[in-house]
Structure 1
């Protein structure tokens, strides 16, 4: 009997195991699995500003797949939404509004310098090389930096992601500023225009005779000793003269250049300009020279707001007024293609007319949209915005800027005639 039980015991244990297995599994599944607690999140750097104002009515997603994605934005210090300036408050409210519209996103703002080793452009280059995943989804860049970054393959074109620039509510200079070679790289939103500062409301025009100009005619100073040659480019292109030949190479034409240099030698231009190389030197010369008008950028004017002065277009040869335009531009640099539509959506949201009217005014910039500019009180600014040409591309400035600087100083100091200076300049281009 005992031996029979010993022989059957394994068989009976197997039967019992089979019978109780479903009950054991059911008991296991009735208790939740516990995982290790999530690691403590790394604190954001001091330059980061997370914006997480999720609406109360939206429940926090439980699943990892439903967690908000982080949309990273790089801005210069003057655009810092944490700033308690009017501009900072206006931008912060706008970003909060977007965050409420898109609870599936978490906006993270990082502030980068405009100049130096840690500038926006240098930071983009460094991140592209060392940590592509750290690239910002949306970044604000000045036009020269936008061009440099685009040509280095750091930015993504926005073609096919938005039709915003098809809207007629943009000033004429906007689309060229956003265009690099054969692609569109961003949405310009805050403009800076080259203008004439006058000490009175009287109109400044080219005298009908440069030999017998009125004594009370105020002369113009500008940074002639500067290889950017901004005024020269502005005046040269005022009548539609081109800066490229049929092969697309930088060039100048003899007749147009001679006319430009003759204008610089006229009584309307102060010879003092030959000694000035920076915008700061222009501003420094004005207090002691009340009879001088000056070529300045509108952003500098709005920061200083000198009393009893006005802005106007810049008079030129044959009374053709001119202005140049640069701008801050929203651009895409992120490594995730999935976030590009959201980044473009934010750029469009930050480029709407009503918002730009308030924000650019607080910043001391000009809006890029006509409907954002109060033309009833800013007739001169509207005229500037309508005639402004985009600043020349970098290769044009690099090839022609120094040549124009040398020719300009030569005629200002009356070392050579305009015709001779033009011929000498053209020889350098060949």
Structure 2
């Protein structure tokens, strides 16, 4: 949910990524927040300057995005508020101070973390909630502390494999995942056959597939390409592509059941709205979009593979350590463990509209969600998504809009990396 750091490169990388993405893979965009944005983001929280306290008390500072605000009048907010209160009762003299930061933009969690580390390290959060792309960026900028040696919870078998992998950066554990999200196949079950349709069935039933083809993240393309065994990194550690699976992917994009409208969609939100308005469609969507509303006429399934196996990509929100006081790290980790408890996550993720990253926290009746979580692979690194995502996007638009030759487009894509 330190190694060699290439700070300048990854700050630059973060700036570019932020311009072209939306959560769940909201990449980093480190810039210094303006006072106005910082004030708005923290309207419901304590002041930035630490409050005076007596010698017997301790303050543990947490940074969260607005959707996880414990004082929000939501079921998820009430559950988190009660959990934090319980933790304080278990530790007399400890005050848990929550500050709310925007998930993206100039006053985002990552940008505020970067700014505080330079200007006021004493105000850094002891525990911070970060998306997996932001966890990667913050780690490579030297803003986080490893959790290795402080907890063994991430080694527990009760994690989906994607969650455990997302918590590690360069083979070192940097956090505990607490909210998962997966790329999924959204469809309307046939009353006579409740199973999810495969690609052949879409062709037979004249159902069209929609997805955000004009999104530079290219989640569907990366998912299908990866499921076919396509490589993202060569032996020199540089971004690469394999011609055969890429050509097969681009040929798939010219299937009759691919809606021509996919070239107009740039976001999950646009696809969701289009799906709701068009009965004869299926869609590729992030599970959190569905879980937020859970329409009764729809269901999720793993994405059918172009070969035998189905696929999915996954991201997560992850608890991480960022505080400047090493004496508080054990307490911060203890709280992260407390907030990652399977029983708590079962109730909280259901209320928050996310998937639990731990199998025992997922309702056993949710077989489709369990299957998606099992096959899900972690989203590629920020560097891969930046470098290859736009190549996948441009290639998809070429074969769908211009009806270009898949093999010729694939060859051009490979040449662009040389």
What TM-score results when the alignment is normalised by the length of structure 1?
A: 0.82
The equivalent residue for 1:190 is 179
The equivalent residue for 1:164 is 153
Out of 303, 324, 335, the residue aligned to residue 314 of structure 1 is 303
Structure 1 contact 263–316 (Cα < 8 Å) conserved: no
- In the alignment, the residues of structure 2 paired with residue 85 and residue 92 of structure 1 have an alpha-carbon distance, to the nearest angstrom, of 10
Quote how far apart the aligned CAs of 1:267 are.
2.6
Quote how far apart the aligned CAs of 1:275 are.
1.8
Pair 1:95-2:87 in alignment: no
1:97-116: CA deviations, max 9, x gaps?
11111114211111111122
- In the alignment, the residues of structure 2 paired with residue 148 and residue 191 of structure 1 have an alpha-carbon distance, to the nearest angstrom, of 18
5+ residue gaps, structure 1? 1-44, 51-62
The equivalent residue for 1:396 is 384
The equivalent residue for 1:48 is 45
Q: Secondary structure at the match of 1:392?
A: coil
1:338-381: CA deviations, max 9, x gaps?
11111011001100100000110110101000000012x21100
Quote how far apart the aligned CAs of 1:64 are.
5.3
Quote how far apart the aligned CAs of 1:47 are.
3.2
The equivalent residue for 2:222 is 233
- In the alignment, the residues of structure 1 paired with residue 159 and residue 325 of structure 2 have an alpha-carbon distance, to the nearest angstrom, of 29
Instruction: Within 5 Å, give how 1:250-269 maps onto structure 2.
Output: 250-269=239-258
The equivalent residue for 1:110 is 99
- In the alignment, the residues of structure 1 paired with residue 402 and residue 304 of structure 2 have an alpha-carbon distance, to the nearest angstrom, of 21
The equivalent residue for 1:352 is 341
* Cα separation, partners in 2 of 1:90 and 1:100, compared to 1, 3 Å: same
The equivalent residue for 1:341 is 330
Pair 1:173-2:162 in alignment: yes
Pair 1:426-2:397 in alignment: no
Runs of 4+ in 1 over 3 A off after TM superposition: none
The equivalent residue for 1:126 is 115
1:41-79: CA deviations, max 9, x gaps?
xxxx753269xxxxxxxxxxxx954x1111101111111
5+ residue gaps, structure 2? 1-41, 48-52
Quote how far apart the aligned CAs of 1:149 are.
1.0
- In the alignment, the residues of structure 2 paired with residue 426 and residue 240 of structure 1 have an alpha-carbon distance, to the nearest angstrom, of 16
1:224-280: CA deviations, max 9, x gaps?
011111111111111343311111111110111111111111234222212211112
Instruction: Within 5 Å, give how 1:235-250 maps onto structure 2.
Output: 235-250=224-239
Structure 1 contact 222–294 (Cα < 8 Å) conserved: yes
Pair 1:416-2:404 in alignment: yes
* Cα separation, partners in 2 of 1:150 and 1:237, compared to 1, 3 Å: same
Structure 1 contact 206–319 (Cα < 8 Å) conserved: no
The equivalent residue for 2:320 is 331
Alignment size in residue pairs: 368
Quote how far apart the aligned CAs of 1:427 are.
0.5
Q: Secondary structure at the match of 2:304?
A: coil
* Cα separation, partners in 2 of 1:427 and 1:137, compared to 1, 3 Å: same
What TM-score results when the alignment is normalised by the length of structure 2?
A: 0.85
Structure of greater Rg:
1
- In the alignment, the residues of structure 2 paired with residue 271 and residue 84 of structure 1 have an alpha-carbon distance, to the nearest angstrom, of 42
- In the alignment, the residues of structure 2 paired with residue 81 and residue 351 of structure 1 have an alpha-carbon distance, to the nearest angstrom, of 16
- In the alignment, the residues of structure 1 paired with residue 324 and residue 210 of structure 2 have an alpha-carbon distance, to the nearest angstrom, of 46
Structure 1 contact 193–385 (Cα < 8 Å) conserved: yes
- In the alignment, the residues of structure 1 paired with residue 307 and residue 256 of structure 2 have an alpha-carbon distance, to the nearest angstrom, of 14
Pair 1:371-2:360 in alignment: yes
Q: Secondary structure at the match of 2:307?
A: helix
The equivalent residue for 1:137 is 126
Instruction: Within 5 Å, give how 1:286-301 maps onto structure 2.
Output: 286-301=275-290
